[in-house]
């Protein structure tokens, strides 16, 4: 077994354990493999081990890999900061976007989604921890944006995403993830049904699953350490 294959199995086992401990079904948590900075060969290997959904953070890097892996029916997700001049490429090449945090970006993605494709699935990125340098919108603006995004014709609003400030303290991790869940519940009471909570990365996914994550975004625990730290979490496009 290759390292990627065995890492993937270990991550799947850990997801199942965390779900079971939380009284949830492991089937209710899907695994998104974050392949930014890793090669098409590494992605191919993970695909052969049964992983079908992959996420990228940088548009040009992603387009190169999508082309190189065009023979595989991979579902591509975009999770990085979105600049206006990149919305067309995202609308044309991805199934889902997790990092929508402005109406202007949502409108462009909807307008640029090709007619022959199903609606672009989107999550709104929320800045739970309130760090100035991070992407994502303030929690108190989410309801208003969500109502507008839900009206856009070529988008399908699926849920919320967050990247909390990194912490080794499980209680702090859970508190941040609980805030995103509460926000989802609040929208639910306002009549907006969202089925996705995209939260949890390699260092904190068990806490995210305990708080209701339906999709965890995991890179280094599958593919190994990246060459540069915290990439994609900063403002580096
Ligand atoms: C890089 C990244 C991940 C994965 O991080 P790991 O620590 O490698 O699991 C998840 N979400 C976002 C938004 C990222 O940029």
DSSP letter string, 79-138: -S---GGGHHHHHHH-SEEEEE--HHHHHHHHHHS-TTSPPEEEEEEE-SS--TTS-SB-
pLDDT score of 214 more than 50: yes
CB of 57 shorter than 6 A to ligand 1: yes
Q: How many CB atoms lie within 10 A of CB 137?
A: 18
Max alpha carbon distance in the chain (Å)?
A: 49
Mean pLDDT over 90-96 rounds to 98
Which atom of ligand 1 lies at the shortest distance from residue 217's CA? 10
Q: Is the CB of residue 81 less than 8 Å from the CB of residue 98?
A: no
Q: Give the pLDDT score at 83.
A: 97
In degrees and rounded to multiples of 5, residue 205 shows phi and psi of -65, -30
Mean pLDDT over 186-213 rounds to 97
Mean pLDDT over 121-138 rounds to 88
Tokens of 22: 């939380």
Question: What percent of the chain is modeled with pLDDT above 70?
Answer: 95
Q: Could you give the CA distance from residue 234 to residue 237 in angstroms, rounded to a whole number?
A: 8
Residues 6+ apart with CB under 8 A from 31: 11, 12, 15, 51, 53, 215, 216, 218
Place of tokens 């708080």: 211
Place of tokens 């080794």: 168
Q: Give the pLDDT score at 234.
A: 43
Which atom of ligand 1 lies at the shortest distance from residue 226's CA? 8
Tell me the average pLDDT of the chain. Answer: 94
Which atom of ligand 1 lies at the shortest distance from residue 34's CA? 4
Q: How far is CA 14 from CA 31, 172, 203, 206, 207, in A?
A: 11, 20, 12, 8, 11
CB of 233 shorter than 6 A to ligand 1: yes
Number of residues assigned to the chain: 237
The separation between CA 13 and the C-alpha centre of its own chain, rounded to angstroms, equals 20
Mean pLDDT over 24-41 rounds to 98
Compute the distance from residue 229 Cα to the ligand 1 centre, in Å: 10
pLDDT score of 29 more than 70: yes
Compute the distance from residue 141 Cα to the ligand 1 centre, in Å: 24
Residues 6+ apart with CB under 8 A from 11: 31, 218, 221, 222
Domain 3-223 indexed as CATH 3.20.20.10: yes
Residues 6+ apart with CB under 8 A from 32: 53, 54, 55, 77, 79, 198, 215, 216, 217, 218
Q: Give the pLDDT score at 133.
A: 62
Q: Give the pLDDT score at 236.
A: 41
Q: Is the CB of residue 78 less than 8 Å from the CB of residue 86?
A: no
Compute the distance from residue 44 Cα to the ligand 1 centre, in Å: 19
Question: What percent of the chain is modeled with pLDDT above 90?
Answer: 92
CB of 122 shorter than 6 A to ligand 1: no
pLDDT score of 233 more than 70: no
Compute the distance from residue 115 Cα to the ligand 1 centre, in Å: 31
CB of 208 shorter than 6 A to ligand 1: no
CB of 218 shorter than 6 A to ligand 1: yes
Compute the distance from residue 138 Cα to the ligand 1 centre, in Å: 20
pLDDT score of 210 more than 50: yes
Per-residue confidence band for 132, with pLDDT thresholds at 50, 70 and 90: low
Mean pLDDT over 199-204 rounds to 98
User: Taking the complete model, does pTM exceed 0.85, yes or no?
Assistant: yes
Tokens of 218: 């995991």
Q: Give the pLDDT score at 228.
A: 64
User: Minimal CA–CA distance to 103: which of 154, 155, 145?
Assistant: 145
**What's the distance, Cα to Cα, between the start and end of the chain in Å?**
35
Q: Could you give the CA distance from residue 125 to residue 185 in angstroms, rounded to a whole number?
A: 16
Ligand 1 atom 12 nearest Cα: 79
Compute the distance from residue 68 Cα to the ligand 1 centre, in Å: 22
């Amino acid at each position: 077994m290759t390292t990627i294959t065995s890492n993937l199995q270990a991550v799947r086992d850990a997801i199942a354990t965390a779900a079971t401990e939380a009284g949830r079904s492991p089937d209710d948590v899907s695994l998104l493999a974050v392949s930014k900075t890793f090669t098409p060969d590494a992605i191919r290997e993970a695909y052969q081990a049964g992983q079908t959904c992959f996420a990228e953070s940088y548009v040009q890097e992603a387009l190169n890999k999508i082309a190189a892996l065009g023979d595989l029916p991979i579902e591509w997700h975009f999770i990085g900061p979105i600049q206006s001049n990149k919305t067309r490429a995202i609308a044309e090449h991805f199934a889902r976007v997790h990092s929508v945090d402005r109406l202007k970006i949502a409108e462009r993605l909807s307008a640029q989604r090709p007619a022959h494709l199903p609606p672009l699935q989107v999550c709104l990125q929320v800045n739970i921890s309130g760090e100035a340098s991070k992407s994502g919108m303030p929690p108190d603006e989410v309801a208003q944006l969500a109502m507008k995004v839900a009206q856009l014709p070529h988008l399908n609003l699926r849920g919320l995403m967050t990247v909390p400030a990194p912490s080794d303290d499980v209680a702090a991790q859970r508190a941040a993830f609980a805030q995103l869940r509460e926000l989802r519940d609040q929208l639910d009471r306002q009549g907006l049904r969202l089925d996705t909570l995209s939260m949890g990365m390699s260092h904190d996914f068990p806490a995210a699953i305990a708080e209701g994550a339906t999709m965890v975004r995991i890179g280094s625990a599958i593919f190994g350490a990246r060459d540069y730290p915290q990439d994609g979490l900063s403002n580096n496009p």
